[in-house]
Amino acid sequence: MRTQTVTDLEHAKQMLALFESENNRLQARIRELIAENARLAGKVEPEQLALELSVLEEQLAAAQRRLFGDSSERRVEPNKSTAQKEPKEKTGHGRRAQPKLDTETLELRLTEDELRCDGCCQNRVPLGGSFESSEEITVVFRKFVVRTLKRQRYTCGCGSSVAAPLPVRHIEGGRYSLDFAVEVAVDKYLDHLPLERQVRRMLRDGLVTDSQTLWDQLDALALHCMATYKAICTWLLSQSVLGGDETWWRLMTKSKTKRWWVWTICTPQAVFHTIRPSRSAECAMDLLGDYKGTLVCDGYAAYATVRKSGKPIKLAHCWAHTRRKFFEAAQHYPPCEVPLRIIGEMYHDDLELRMCAWAQSDTAHVCDKTCAAQRRAKQEPRLDALKKWAYEQQALPQSAMRKAIAYMLKHWEGLTVFLDDLRVPLDNNQSEREIRGVVVGRKNHYGSRSQRGTEVAAIFYTLTECARLNGLDAREYIRDVASRWITHREVYLPFSV
């Protein structure tokens, strides 16, 4: 049957109903065939039949959850009543402080017609400096201006003359300013507005332009940001612990659409995106180069291939991915509550440990040793209990529970790396958070139309996310990156090196 993408919810429900009906018919037919086979062979295998059918039902339930279920992995712990929870204090909807907004005062006065009092027929007079004050938040609409730059010329006694310098320009002789190009970049890669949508919005504000013109601005601006983009990658690869992840990206050429991949590495201070033709181990090797630290990642085989190739890299695997597999299996396999409880305790204690470490950051060296010892003392017995539980379980090879156990045991070495290094987190959630902007952008403008488009996208996704991580305004940061490179060939990292 030809696979197709269904976007209409009602259509999807109808298709699911048909699949469920067909699945029930096939299950009935399987029962008949197995019973007939057992009768001819003189055997009866009802237990095996029941096991096989349970796997089919489990797979159908999983498909239904993916289509219509809640994507949250939050769960209510067994034996905990929701009635025992203390109600949260209501915060209300009072006024919020707005320290970043400009303020202005507008004095409102009566018009000539309003000055006359209907009671005494005399004109009202102001009461000195008496005002009734209130506050409102309003919007000053954006506008585009054609600015004529008149450069004063100067001369001296020797007869030479000079003109006042132009503002920093990202395109020599170009008509659009650097600020305009930065605005287009931030709108597309931070706020996910496709260029065609920006063109329509600009037209409402009076500017007549087209998407090709906007693309030319992005292309030129990216050239001035390339050095900083590469410097961020170099800095990240010098760190002892990195997070890594990947997601797909469309390259939409005139002839066909290809699936390329966004590869991401990050720390709490910086993130770097690059878009490559495939998800192969070669792309991972090319990105990581001679990296010698610890990479926190999921169980994707490309990272294991990089390590097996002789690269001096250590893999730390993600407990969130491991927990997710037990979470998905728990609905059909109650024993999975055991690993979910143990993993939950691991997260709870590790959070308290890291909060303690932050509070004692003034004695970092002593704190690291103490916290590392505490981490091993608390977590190692849990890991031993979890591994013992895994080896004691019995389940069908294709069941969700067996797959979850197999995944955990396969990556056990990487899942225990955090015991030896306090800098290694329990999971790779930060990488997944940093790649979220790329995914939202992909949903809005679908991908890139050229290989150069993938390069420009990677540059601006990197710069906007780095600015966010370091509490910088993305517009100001990108403008500074470009202007420093244009004027002084200077690289501007968003964090202190």
Domain boundaries along the sequence of the chain: 178-238+450-488, 319-426
In angstroms, the CA 273 to CA 458 distance is 5
- 474-488 and 451-469 are packed helices; what angle lies between their axes, rounded to 10 degrees? 110
Question: What is the model's pLDDT at position 253?
Answer: 87
Q: Looking only at Cα atoms, what is the longest distance across the chain?
A: 118
Question: What is the model's pLDDT at position 85?
Answer: 59
Query: Which residues on neighbouring strands pair with residue 295, listed in sequence order?
Result: 242, 315
In angstroms, the CA 163 to CA 197 distance is 39
In angstroms, the CA 38 to CA 415 distance is 45
**Helix/strand/coil for 32:** helix
Q: What is the pLDDT of residues 258-283, one digit of tens each?
A: 999 999 999 999 999 999 999 999 99
Cβ neighbors of 29 (< 8 A, separation 6 or more) are none
7: left (phi > 0), else alpha (psi -120 to 50), else beta?
alpha
Contact between 185 and 478 (Cβ < 8 Å): yes
**Residues of the chain falling short of pLDDT 70:** 1-9, 34-35, 37-39, 41-74, 76-93, 356-368, 497
Contact between 166 and 196 (Cβ < 8 Å): no
Q: What is the pLDDT of residues 187-215, one digit of tens each?
A: 999 999 999 999 999 999 999 999 999 99
Question: What is the model's pLDDT at position 96?
Answer: 83
- Cβ neighbour number for residue 418 with a 10 Å cutoff: 25
Question: What is the model's pLDDT at position 77?
Answer: 60
In angstroms, the CA 249 to CA 259 distance is 6
Question: What is the model's pLDDT at position 3?
Answer: 44
Question: What is the model's pLDDT at position 254?
Answer: 84
Question: What is the model's pLDDT at position 362?
Answer: 46
